[in-house]
Every structure is written in structure tokens, then in C-alpha cells.
Amino acid sequence: MLVKSIGLSGFRNYDGARADFDPGINVITGDNAQGKTNLLEAVYFLSCGHSFRTRRDRDAVNFSFDTARIDADIESDGREHKIEIAFGNGVKKTIKVNGVKLKTAAELSGRLTAVFFCPDDLEIIKEGPSQRRRLLDGCISQLRPRYAAAISAYSRAYEQKSRILRDRREKPELLPLLNEYDDAMCRLSAEIIRYRAFFASLICEKASEIHREFSGGADELTAKYRTVSTITDPFLPASELLPLLEEHQRSHRRAELESGACLSGCHKDDVEIFINGQPAKGFASQGQTRTAALSLKLAEREVIKDDKGETPVLLLDDVLSELDPIRQNFVLNRISGGQVLITCCEDARIANRTGGRLIYIEKGTIR
Ligand SMILES: Nc1ncnc2c1ncn2[C@@H]1O[C@H](COP(=O)(O)OP(=O)(O)OP(=O)(O)O)[C@@H](O)[C@H]1O
Ligand SMILES: [Mg+2]
């Protein structure tokens, strides 16, 4: 997977700019607030049709433009493709691949795979389960469009069921609809849980290996995927998971009606991370947290590579400056073998060590 070049117009602080990338390492440098992260955001946009920063596309439109445009020449499956994305205030987003308009952003899935990592991703270790589900969902969705569809169907059902539960006193006439949503959520959970169990174990196995190297053999990272309490073996076939999910749902109905919240289904799943047997969330040091989060992301990249036979583009935002030189070297060695875009504020020092192309950004212009 390669992004050969990208053109931006009306995107964030770019009026009109073009960048050509090296197939290996690209170091994107410049002072603060010049557009480095914005450039990575645009590349990420090409992989899934939306931003990693905002849920509202219009936030990414330049303040003095009506429309933002991203166009790029990419290489995947040994062929070249052109992707064009346009969106703006009050206009529907359009995505074209080789001149043909896609019906939904989901159809973009798999054309350009990308893994993004920034300092906020330390939340994967430090915060609640939603960050870890996001990592898992992001990885599986890029590889299995069927999973992406199941996740969006599940969140629609979840929203609707939550609304009925929340309004249970004002609108009791809607309560009979609950069964329908329970059925849908149990069926979709059974499908989602199988995928999650499988990919969580792949990612964790790789992450554990990377983390061990990263820490010079000192730390052992392990992980355990957890879903609803009636399921002890998430690898069971969906047909055997279904009755267990239904049992869990039945036993939580009363509590759901009392609390007014959805209490049963895969929306509460977690992947618990342990370092040397202790839960990382409560016990890991800053350095261990950073190393573990980065190991999980690099593992995601390797899992995608093994599955698709092509290395996804790696987008690293501001991560090197936080590491000591030994760990920087480890990262730089570990990331070779695919296309990488790294941002950093430092001068050319890091770029010289990577041997990569240096891309200098100043106020939305690219040199
Ligand atoms: N929609 C927008 N329109 C115009 N400018 C924007 C928009 N959104 C963000 N910006 C501006 O883009 C500038 C560059 O942001 P970016 O996050 O890319 O900086 P950066 O080079 O990564 O800086 P840092 O080194 O501090 O991380 C910021 O000054 C920001 O205010
Ligand atoms: Mg930045």
C-alpha cells in the first residue's frame, strides 16, 4: 500500500498544496501549528472516508472555503488508483475511485489501509474499554467489510433500544418493541464477538512479541478479551454464542427497565491488557504505557499486513519525541518495510537517522 502523492484544497489550513511521498519513510517536519497533523489526517481520510479527529466533516473544511477536496494517487494490489474526496458545508460528501462515484464511504474499505498512532493513543492503555474496542473495531473493519456493516447495524439498534429504555415512563407504548431490538442485538453480537475473539488474539500475540523486544525482554504483555458474562469461550460458533447471549439478555431485562440503560450485548466488551501479570491500566509506568500502546498499534499493522499481503501505510504523529534514543531506534528499525509518514517538530536530526524523505511544512505550504 502506497500513497504516491496527495493534493489538498480547502482542507484544514491548506488552500492548495501537493505532496509527493517516498515509498519508504517520510519525515514531516516544521514548527508547531503549520499543518503536519492535518496532512496525516488527509491521508487517513483516504483509507476510510472520514477523519480521526472529528465526527463532523465540516470541521475539516478550511474556514474560508465552502468545499474541501483531497485527491491522491495510490498503489494497492500492484495497481495504481486515483481517489478523490470532496465534502463541505451543506453538500453531500462524494468519493470517487478512478472516476467512479462510490455509494457509501464503507465501499472505500480496503483500498488503502492505514494505521494511525498519536500520543492520545496512550488512552488505549489508561482509559476505559471504549478505546480498546476502537482499536479492535478499526483493525477488523479495514479487513472485513461484513464486520464494519455488523458494527454499524449494532450501533443503530443500540441507539434505538437505549432511547426506548430512556423514555420508558413517558412512552410505555414503545416497550413492546424492545424484543425486536434484543433479537437483532443478540444476533449481531454473536457475529461480532467471533470476529473480535479471533482478531484480539492475533493482535495480542504480535503485540506481546513487539513489546518484549521493545523492553529488552523485561516486560511480558498479555491480554484477555472479555465479553458478556455468560460467554466463557468467545471462539464458539455464532450458533452456540446466540443462546448464551439470549440468556444474558433475559437475566438483565429487569435491571435494564430499572436503570433505563442497555446492559446486555457486545457494546461493553473489553480487551484487558496486563504487563507482567498486572493490569496495565492501574499499574503501568508512563514508559510502559507508551511502549504497550505503540506495540499494540505496530501489531495492528502486522496483522493487516499478514491478512492482506500488503503493509498498511503507517501514520505516526509526534511519537518519536517522547521516546528515549534506544526506543526511537527500535521504532525506526521496526517500521521499515512499508510506507511510513512520521511527523516531528525537531530539525533534521531524526530524518537523517531514518534515511527517509524530508517534507517541510510551513503555514500550509509543503516543501
Ligand atoms: N478548518 C480549518 N481551517 C483552517 N485552519 C485550520 C482548520 N482546522 C485547523 N486549522 C489550523 O491548522 C493549523 C495546523 O494544525 P496542525 O494540527 O496540522 O498543526 P501541526 O503542524 O501538527 O502542529 P503541532 O506541531 O503543534 O502538532 C492550526 O493552526 C489549526 O488552527
Ligand atoms: Mg500536530
Domain range list for the chain: 1-113+310-367, 121-309
| Residues ≥6 apart with Cβ < 8 Å to 138 | 300
Q: Does the beta carbon of 37 sit less than 6 angstroms from any atom of ligand 1?
A: yes
DSSP characters for 129-185? HHHHHHHHHHHHHHH-HHHHHHHHHHHHHHHHHHHHHHTTTT-GGGGGGHHHHHHHH
The pLDDT, as a whole number, for residue 325 is 81
The pLDDT, as a whole number, for residue 351 is 67
Instruction: Give the CA distances from residue 220 to residues 203, 210, 335, in Å, rounded to whole numbers and listed in that order.
Output: 15, 10, 21
Q: Does the beta carbon of 345 sit less than 6 angstroms from any atom of ligand 1?
A: yes
Question: Among 11, 14, 31, 38, which residue has the most ligand 1 atoms within 8 Å of its CB, making it the best to mutate?
Answer: 38
CB-count burial class (<10 Å; 0-12, 13-18, 19+) for 296: buried
pTM, entire model: 0.90
- Closest-CA residue, ligand 1 atom 25, reads 32
Closest ligand 1 atom number to CA of residue 41: 18
Q: Does the beta carbon of 33 sit less than 6 angstroms from any atom of ligand 1?
A: yes
Q: Which three cell numbers stand for residue 225?
A: 478479551
In CATH, the architecture of 1-113+310-367 is 3-Layer(aba) Sandwich (3.40)
The pLDDT, as a whole number, for residue 244 is 98
User: Ligand 1 centroid to 262 CA: how many Å?
Assistant: 38
CB 289 within 8 A of CB 122: yes
Burial 55-74, CB ≥16 within 10 A → b, else e:
eebeebbbeebebbbbbbbb
The pLDDT, as a whole number, for residue 106 is 75
CB-count burial class (<10 Å; 0-12, 13-18, 19+) for 22: middle
Q: Does the beta carbon of 282 sit less than 6 angstroms from any atom of ligand 1?
A: no
Q: Which three cell numbers stand for residue 341?
A: 509518514
Q: Does the beta carbon of 13 sit less than 6 angstroms from any atom of ligand 1?
A: yes
The pLDDT, as a whole number, for residue 347 is 57
Q: Does the beta carbon of 29 sit less than 6 angstroms from any atom of ligand 1?
A: no
> What angle do the packed helices 178-214 and 145-166 form, to 10 degrees?
130
Closest ligand to the CA of 41: 1
In CATH, the architecture of 121-309 is Up-down Bundle (1.20)
Closest ligand to the CA of 39: 1
Question: Among 8, 34, 120, which residue has the most ligand 1 atoms within 8 Å of its CB, making it the best to mutate?
Answer: 34
Closest ligand 1 atom number to CA of residue 59: 1
> Residues with Cβ within 5 Å of ion ligand 2?
36-37
User: Which amino acid is it at 262?
Assistant: C
Closest ligand to the CA of 34: 1
User: Ligand 2 centroid to 343 CA: how many Å?
Assistant: 7
Mean pLDDT, each 10-residue run in order, the chain (367 residues): 97 96 94 95 93 89 96 94 94 94 84 92 92 93 89 95 96 95 98 97 97 91 97 96 98 96 97 96 90 94 95 92 80 88 77 81 93
